[in-house]
Amino acid sequence: MSDQKTVLFVPESAHGPTNNCIGIGDVLRRRGHRVVFAAESSWRGKLDALGFEEDLVDLAPPPDPAAAAEVDAGQFWKDFIRETAPEFRKPTIEQLESFMVPTWSALVDGARYSEPALQGIVERVRPDVIVEDNVVGFAALMTADAPFVRIVSCQPLEVKGPHVPPAYSGLPAGDPSHWAEFRAEYDRTHRPLWAEFDAWMRDQGAPGLPDLEFIHESTHANLYVYPAEADYTDQRPLGRTWHRIDSSVRETDAEAGVPVAVLDRPDDSALCYLSLGSLGSADIELMRRLVDVLSRTPHRYVVSKGPQHAELELAENMWGAEFVAQTRIIPMVDAVITHGGNNTTTEALHFGKPMVLLPLFWDQYDNAQRMDELGLGVRLDTYRFADDELTGAIDGLARDTRLRERLDGIGRAVRSRDGVRAAASVIESVSQ
């Protein structure tokens, strides 16, 4: 096409942001644009298979070639999360120093290490627009001769404001009594790392970072993924460059392949989807406990087993695999049991499904709290819930016909707003 544009996507290595970019990129590709992914190197071959160009980047020194051949997509963060999983048992305010700062530090190290490679990618690709879905900035993207679009595919509290709870806290929107304490601790624990990264950004010729932010806001367009029905815009209005994508449900997933025996359940049982995400499911002890508790219910389950799939044996009322076609499965089920990752949360709302939320880290606490306080799901203590709390939550959601009708309406409204195509159109407008 004569007006073909080159769009360079730079997603965080984790599955959530990458899948979000895949969904939007697929729409742009089908519209005739050239779509290139500067994803982390462990995604090699997986994006090409979907019709995209790959120009990949390492976030740390690569392993020897033999070991590199065995690395799974997103392995960098799977390993990191598995090693730090004990921190998830702590209150969110204690995680700031013991988990959040080391995570930010690893992200900052990756941005610094990848700077020369990203500069080379920008030179080779010559993008008309750069789209980054990450929580940390890259200087090469800010100094490139192309407009920059930021995507926030985490919970929208990452776009901060004085009248909404602090991000990563899981604190309620209706009770500000602990907000100041959390913000003060975030400042104390994060400011030294932020100041160092801000100085590095300036040394590379990039603009300085906003105060205590690890990524720039775009002057062209900023996208964030969250349904209007759950958003905070009344309490925290956003500027003219901000565009809400109510959901970002990719259309590239294969058919689900769920056995008929699981789908053909008795009338008095529900079909539930269990996923703690590719990172959360690495906690094999937690996954085994969930399987044990759920095995004693009358319901059926589809389980995303994750990277430790070989070590997880499912019960007779379950079917699962290492990876499952989540966007195909959620429409089939009656309820979703989730860690509260933003992709799963917004996809559940897109399809009108209630949730049981078991948050582990980062923005998952904020999603869990938001769904609970809006009555769209039930938040539980991930490591301290009683068996009957989990089973009771599932039973209650399965029987709640009024909630189901409410969520059916939300789902229809979210789907009508067609987030992936709305996002693609914003990116096209910036590339003109």
The DSSP line for 68-97 is HTTPPTTHHHHHHHHHHGGGGGS-HHHHII
What's the rounded mean pLDDT across residues 426-430?
95
Q: Taking residues 16-21, what's their average pLDDT?
A: 88
Helix 75-84 / helix 101-125 crossing angle, nearest 10 deg: 170
Could you tell me if 190 and 390 are in contact, meaning their C-beta atoms sit under 8 angstroms apart?
no
Q: Residue 294 has what pLDDT? A: 96
- pTM here is 0.90
Contact 135, 215 (CB under 8 A): yes
Nearest to 111 by CA among 185, 206, 224: 206
- pLDDT, tens digit, 9 for 90 and up, residues 124-171: 999 999 999 999 999 999 999 999 999 998 999 999 999 999 999 999
Q: Give the pLDDT score at 63.
A: 66
Two tokens, residue 1: 């096409």
**Positions of CATH 3.40.50.2000 in the chain:** 6-246+417-430, 260-416
Q: What are phi and psi of 186, to 5 degrees?
A: -60, -45
Q: How far apart are the first and last CA of the chain?
A: 14
Of 3.30.420.40, 3.40.50.1820, 1.10.3720.10, 3.40.50.2000, which CATH number belongs to 260-416? 3.40.50.2000
CB neighbourhood size of 409 (10 A): 12
Within 10 A of 182 (CB to CB), how many other CB atoms are there? 19
CB contact at 8 A, 340 and 359 = yes
Adjacency order of strands within the sheet including 34-37:
53-54, 34-37, 6-11, 129-133, 148-152, 221-225, 242-245
- Say how far apart CA 186 and CA 206 lie, in whole Å: 25
Q: Work out the average pLDDT over 117-122.
A: 95
Q: What is the pLDDT of residues 178-194, one digit of tens each?
A: 999 999 999 999 999 99
Residue 33: which residues within 8 A CB-CB, separation 6 or more? 4, 5, 6, 7, 428
At 305-339, the pLDDT tens digits run 877 777 888 998 998 887 888 888 999 999 999 99
Tokens of 429: 């407008």
Distance, CA of 390 to CA of 209 (rounded, Å): 42
Residue 347 confidence (pLDDT) above 70: yes
Cα 134 from Cα 140, distance rounded (Å): 14
> Which CATH number is 6-246+417-430's, of 3.40.50.2000, 3.40.50.880, 1.20.1440.230, 1.10.357.10?
3.40.50.2000
Per-residue buried b or exposed e for 321-352, using 16+ beta carbons within 10 Å of the residue's own CB: bebbbbbebbeebbbbbbbbbbbbbbbbbbbb
Sheet holding 271-275, edge to edge: 318-321, 300-304, 271-275, 335-338, 355-357, 377-379
The pLDDT tens digits for 227-239 are 999 999 889 888 9
Structure tokens at 271: 């079909």
* 37 or 67, which is more confident: 37
What is the overall mean pLDDT for the chain? 90
**Res 76: pLDDT:** 58
Point out the least confidently predicted range of 76-80, 89-93, 233-237, 296-300.
Answer: 76-80
Burial 81-115 (b: 16+ CB within 10 A, else e): beebbebbeeebbebbbebbbebbebbbebbbebb
Q: Which two tokens stand for residue 363?
A: 């923005």
Q: Are 306 and 277 in contact (CB under 8 A)?
A: yes
Query: Could you tell me the pLDDT band of residue 1, with boundaries at 50, 70 and 90?
Result: very low
